[in-house]
Chains A and B, each alone.
Chain A
Amino acid sequence: MSQPHTSGAMTESRWPSPPLSGDSRTIATLDGRPLLANTGIPLNLDWVQQVRVNTSAVERRAQTHSARRTVKKEWQAAWLLRAITCMDLTTLSGDDTYERVRRLCAKARQPLQQDLVQRLGIQDLDIRVAAVCVYHVFVETALDALKDSGVRVAAVSAGFPAGLSPLAERVNEIRRSVEAGANEIDIVITRAHVFAGEWQALYDEIAAFKQACGSAHLKTILGTGDLMTLRNVARASLVAMMAGADFIKTSTGKETVNATLPVGFVMSWAIRDYAQQTGMAVGFKPAGGIRTAKQSLDWLAMIKEELGDSWLRAEMFRFGVSGLLADIERQLDHYSTGRYAAEYRHPMA
């Protein structure tokens, strides 16, 4: 993992994470094997072409997954807290303002009311979201608002959400956000490259973004809702990882279909295969459409099943969300009081 940019950024020690290996460069493990941060590999077209995905079978897997796994009571509370710590709390609207972003950052620093934290007995966990995700123009505002909180700042970039501005401008946009201090950069790929099977062009584009990021984290949005087929999703995932993405991410949140569990399985399998082949770990960020606590548990369980516990950390997994936190708060409130909660009783973001 590249070193955090700002002081006070999160470290692994904040969460008692599963033991990795003694090597400090190890960022995750898969079936006991230590994995390094992704530095990319040359484009392997044979591998991309060999991808096989059976849509019906994947859908069936996703459908039974939600029925196969559930967590209850204090385990559920613990998992929901984990979900909060993996959140990229996001605002990406045309009507965003500096004040709106500051409000979001305040919520990010203190996602749960103090009395709820006490009822749950989790003061020592110091629960905060992983990052706040905004447009470039708000990077400085967010950095300022989140100073010394450990919450990172992510900027969407590279012609987000369509990704269709000239390449040089997209690269410049990334550079500017990095210069402004963004810790993480969420970029979107040119979907046309996928439809045309122009894997080299896609690879080159992402590699250029990666270079522009420097030490900032690159999250590559595939726009899975646009790609339509799961085979496209798997192929684009592989190419993005080969080009050096630190994270692969499902959606911009602007497509008609955003993060779905079948897409999640296919991307997780791609990450697993890539780790097995290269010894490098890539993070995963589903974004868009995850609004309920129950959904977040399904996703966490999927990651636990397919990638393992070492992916259940903000370093390796994020939820790109705006409304999820409110539902998790209500569920935690219900857990701690036994009464069903009302959203208006919790401070809004």
Chain B
Amino acid sequence: MSIADKFSTMEYGPAPEDPKEAVVWLESHRRQFGHFIFGAWQAPLQGGYFDSHDPSSGKFLASVAQGTAADVDAAVQAARAASPEWRALTPHARARYLYALSRLIQKHSRRLAVLETMDTGKPIRESRDLDVPLVIRHFYHHAGWAQLLAQEFPDQLPCGIVGQIIPWNFPLLMLAWKIAPALAGANTVVLKPAEFTPLTALAFAEICVEAGLPPGVVNIITGDGSTGEALVRHPGVDKIAFTGSTEVGRAIRRATAPSSQRLSLELGGKSPFIVFEDADLDSAVEGLVDGIWLNQGQVCCAGSRLLMQESIAANLTAKIRARMSKLRLGPSLDKAVDVGAIIAQVQLDRIRRLVEQGIAEGATCWQPDLRLPAHGLYYPPTLLSNVHPTSIVAQQEIFGPVLAAMTFRTPREAVELANNTVYGLAACVWSESINLSLHVAAQLKAGVVWVNCTNLFDASCGFGGYRESGYGREGGREGMREYLEPAWFKNAPALASSFAPVPETTPAASPAIDRTVKLYIGGKQARPDSGYSMEVRAPGGQLLGEAPRGNRKDIRNAVEAAHKAEAWAKAAAHTRAQVLYYCAENLSQRRAEIASRLAEVVGTSQANAELEHSIDRIFSYAAWADKFDGAVHNPPFRNVTLAMNEPVGVIGILCPTEAPLLGFISLVLPALAMGNPVIAVPSESYPLIAGDLYQVFDTSDLPGGAVNIVTGRAPELLEVLAQHDDVDAIWCFTNQTDSQAAKTLSVGNLKQVWTNEGRVIDWFNPQQAEGRWFLAHATQVKNIWIPYGE
């Protein structure tokens, strides 16, 4: 074709990125890679090799080692061997290493981008302009956290050895999100990249050598799901950080339940993309391009559910179709391609299957008239209209370039539809009204809300989800916390298997009037559904009274009551503070009689101390109620990101045995102060405390349902609470057995689990039993991105 012909057609023509340097690098390794363990390449001990291909062309790229349990063990040993020295370094020394890593990635940025595109099939524009720059930014930012570790995270220790498993959609970026905070927090790492995309992690291994990182600080093992499982099950790993599917996240939750391993999960999503009638529609369409067609829609936070206000639906749909017709699909290394290749045949099959099912369920399918390349794995951008919430394409994560569109009538309906999902990772709101945007953003159940923008990320802003999208955050201060633990807690001794305090006094001899303690549900005293009671005896064996034996129906009622206490979460922090101060006042009024009864179980001095500390603690959380503020982040755009501390939701709390009153107060109060309704199960050692407490709550203007108290057998009630899909978090502070059960049983809705790991907490020591550690667990951070400018 001559220039004259091209002058006539005005076609784009090919614009291939030259892969030469990446190919040279692959060849320098003879296209075969072992594991990277203790600073050196190691051939697999038992397993063989498997091949990695370019999904855009199907061409062979390299063979990589299939890791087995033996390889994993070697890597974990290496990380453990490196740990003492790495921890002993000054924060500044670690910061220098992280800085070196960021500089070296910058120097090799194009090779890494090309390699990433060859391995994943994503367009080179994305690897070059999004992935790699964000990787560099992440290491720079965390070089900063490493430097400031002692000042900003005092009295914290690293988790230790961290096992990290990352997905195939953003291989190098997810590596950065995992490794940078881990190293900044003085942890050592064993990372397993995804089976489909191991190459940039292996290139990073070389960069670690170039940076002079001490051997064993970063270890990379390659392999499939079985390698990941071996890493998860390795007893020498102190923390697992996983990004991937919700299904695998559940399996990891189950597998790690018996241990005290820390766990952070960043899982799937079905994120809503809400367009109001007063939005800039052309810009919203472009938001969708960045949302659902970025990386072929293989993005956990992809805006895959389009919610359009009815009045603009037809207009917006026409604009979307016009824009889709202009998307260029083709070889991933072409610089002018918008949509590249799907990662693997299995994923392509899944996308096809789900779209077919969506059509069978009534959706209208529209695809632009694009010619797909003859070779490679491609799927055209797809718009499914007339989708209803019942359709599989509205519920399941497709992980492909497929947009499911629905309409809504009012902002309220938009929020209902948006939240009608098991996920809660991200959401987009498009409206030119700041009132409407923030009104909606506040109500969305999502860890990230983008207002008039899509898929913006920054190392300074936490990323992570609500609900089944996982727990923990990556990035920012909250991301650092995932790799640190309070020093006292890490070193806390194990709880004695049974707690039996010796009473210092004998109880009063004269018989008292029979005291009736009931359950407390929805602000009312309630008899237990079972009609049974259980005896409560002092350590010496004396019968102190009878407590109702709650069962699953009582828990069900309590959870329903808790959800009706929405007013508590929405109440102004100042209002909550006033109610809590009033609780302290009323508890103080009755301190003598409550202490005298409590003394029958824990002795007079502890009873008095518990009352004293409880009143003090309630004051603390009344004080905290309006002071645990969020933050405003300044990512490198013209933008503010509001990091809001939001209540987690309904929290089930199993109170500790060793301090029946103070333990209850120490856990329930931070939850309440942050606006979470609570279902509390008092210690079995003295459940009668419920009777005293609900009288205090009743007289303190606490709205009904904000605190519900169900007494009974802890393991029975724990089971119901942990399995309840409408409970958002479970805090288990009884014992190690219950803690493990809580983790195992919580997988249904992947509720947040926080336990004492069977360790001793000194409830009388505010350094341990009070403050930010508790408040952080009572909240989750929602990052709302608001670009501005006129």
Contacts and interface: CB of A to CB of B under 8 A. Distances in A.
A120 B338 CA distance: 31
B453 A57 contact: yes
Given A69-B336, A309-B10, A56 B453 contact: yes
B283 A61 contact: yes
Contact of B15 (A71, A77, A125): A71
Contacts of A305: 326
A276 B315 CA distance: 10
B125 A68 contact: yes
Interface stretch (A47-55, A141-149, A152-160, A200-208): A47-55
A162 interface: no
Contacts of A327: none
A73 B13 contact: yes
Given A52-B278, A58-B283, A72-B15, A82 B7 contact: yes
Q: Which of B3, B4, B286, B322 has the most CB of A within 10 A?
A: B3
B6 interface: yes
Interface of B: 1-8, 10-15, 125, 129, 278-284, 286-287, 290, 318, 322, 325-326, 335-336, 338, 432, 452-453, 638-639, 787-790
Contact of B280 (A31, A52, A67, A312): A52
A125 B279 CA distance: 45
Contacts of A15: 7-8
Interface of A: 15-18, 31, 52-61, 64, 67-75, 77-79, 81-82, 120-122, 124-125, 229-231, 265, 269, 272, 276, 300-301, 304-305, 309, 312
Q: Nearest 5 pairs between A and B by C-beta?
A: A75-B13, A57-B283, A78-B6, A56-B787, A16-B8
A287 to B, nearest CB: 21
B10 A54 contact: no
B118 to A, nearest CB: 19
Given A52-B280, A75-B6, A75-B11, 4 more contacts: A55-B789, A74-B1, A122-B7, A229-B790
A53 B278 CA distance: 10
Contacts of A71: 12-13, 15, 336
Question: Which label, helix, strand, loop or mixed, suits the secondary structure of the A interface?
Answer: helix
Contacts of B452: 54, 56-57
Given A57-B287, A71-B12, A78 B280 contact: no
Contacts of A70: 15, 335-336
A68 B10 contact: no
B316 to A, nearest CB: 12
B7 A125 contact: yes
B638 A56 contact: yes
28 contacts: A16-B7, A31-B322, A31-B325, A52-B432, A54-B280, A57-B452, A57-B453, A60-B787, A61-B283, A64-B290, A68-B125, A68-B336, A70-B15, A70-B336, A72-B13, A73-B13, A74-B1, A77-B6, A78-B4, A79-B10, A81-B3, A81-B7, A120-B3, A124-B4, A125-B4, A229-B790, A265-B282, A301-B12
Nearest to A301: B12
A12 to B, nearest CB: 12
B787 A68 contact: no
A183 B132 CA distance: 52
Given A54-B280, A70-B15, A60 B10 contact: no
B141 to A, nearest CB: 21
A67 B334 CA distance: 12
B157 to A, nearest CB: 41
A61 B336 contact: no
A125 to B, nearest CB: 6
B789 A59 contact: yes
B372 to A, nearest CB: 19
A58 B287 CA distance: 10
User: Looking at B11, B13, B290, B453, which has the most chain A CB atoms within 10 Å of its CB?
Assistant: B13
Contact of B453 (A60, A68, A72): A60
A222 to B, nearest CB: 17
- Most A C-beta atoms less than 10 A away, residue of B2, B282, B322, B638: B282
